Structure 1
């Protein structure tokens, strides 16, 4: 029997956890469920991850890192129109690239708990910063409302529309978010570079 490399086992654990968290919810999936599905013992699982929240952090940190980098890149743009285009298009590209993981964050309230505070706080900070950049300088409360609506319109439907092809979904989400902000529609073919 070939020896399984530790990195491979770790990757299988993360992928299995993603499947279980999305089908059962984060709270309902147990470490035992994950270990059994991967085909290892529970003590072996604890050799790779100390807790379920550590598995979740390993699962969601890469897309959150990419969202943070996308937001930082957008903030460096010279015009408000470019900033908005990069916030909406860039964040949407990251979320679509990590569709299952982001659906978990958007639809499963059980991922928000005491043991996941740090990683979930990062996600909340990303959303707040994106909305802040969409509002522009010196916004009034109406502009802040529109920015929050636009960001939600561009991201929230992803978790409900898994059957829609990515390019079609991206184009429609950008069209809707642009309309909310009263912008010229952002061309779906324009794709900000995702760091």
Structure 2
């Protein structure tokens, strides 16, 4: 699934890294593995990217930029309902478009390391801003909890259901997240004794 021209070495490196990071994990994939798979020497790889973390930054940069733009656009909406609709729907659209990359960010703990702090910190900031918008103005702790639960419910399963058609998955994820944001009262739940 090449998204770059055959002569685009940097693009081939990024695509190969995506494949290796998702099949082996970020930590397990080496610069040597990437170079060999692309068909270049390791020094040539280092000519294009100084480190594996730089490759990761180029790989996740476009979807992170799109998520940030989505959150900015949602924040400009006039009502809480529209804000929520655009946060959930917009973030899901980005994540489903970049499913492999988002799966890497959401499910591979090895991407969280000292060398990736800047990239991952940016992602955490975007997620926190999305949750803040979902919670609405002046939320109490319960609304903040539901907003965090709703965002996780909408985004965490993105990489788990590759066999489900995108439109069906998107609809179900939004339905579930919306139910968390606006639950019907079900009464007080007590722990089992």
| Same fold? TM cut 0.5 | yes
In structure 2, what is the Cα distance between the partners aligned to 1:95 and 1:183?
25
- Match of 2:8, SS state, is helix
* Structure 1 alignment gaps of length 5 or more: 185-195
In structure 1, what is the Cα distance between the partners aligned to 2:133 and 2:103?
23
Specify the alignment match of 1:113 in structure 2.
113
In structure 1, what is the Cα distance between the partners aligned to 2:70 and 2:158?
18
Q: Deviations over 1:85-143 (max 9, x none)?
A: 00000000000000000000000000000000000000000100000000001100000
Q: Which has the higher contact order (CA 8 A, sep 6+)?
A: 1
Specify the alignment match of 1:166 in structure 2.
166
Specify the alignment match of 1:140 in structure 2.
140
**Runs (4+) off by over 6 Å:** none
Bigger mean CA deviation after superposition, 97-106 or 157-166: 157-166
Aligned-residue Cα RMSD (Å) equals: 1.5
Q: With structure 1 as the length reference, what TM-score do the two structures score?
A: 0.90
- Match of 1:93, SS state, is helix
In structure 2, what is the Cα distance between the partners aligned to 1:26 and 1:18?
9
- Match of 1:60, SS state, is helix
In structure 1, what is the Cα distance between the partners aligned to 2:7 and 2:177?
40
* Structure 2 alignment gaps of length 5 or more: 185-193
- Cα shift at 1:183: 7.1
Specify the alignment match of 1:190 in structure 2.
none
Query: Is 1:80 aligned to 2:80, yes or no?
Result: yes
Specify the alignment match of 1:191 in structure 2.
none
Contact 2:83 2:134 in 1 (8 A): yes
Contact 2:83 2:133 in 1 (8 A): yes
Query: Is 1:51 aligned to 2:51, yes or no?
Result: yes
Specify the alignment match of 1:102 in structure 2.
102
In structure 1, what is the Cα distance between the partners aligned to 2:96 and 2:122?
19
In structure 2, what is the Cα distance between the partners aligned to 1:161 and 1:153?
13
Query: Is 1:124 aligned to 2:124, yes or no?
Result: yes
- Match of 2:129, SS state, is helix
- Aligned pairs, how many? 180
- Cα shift at 1:162: 1.1
- Cα shift at 1:7: 6.7
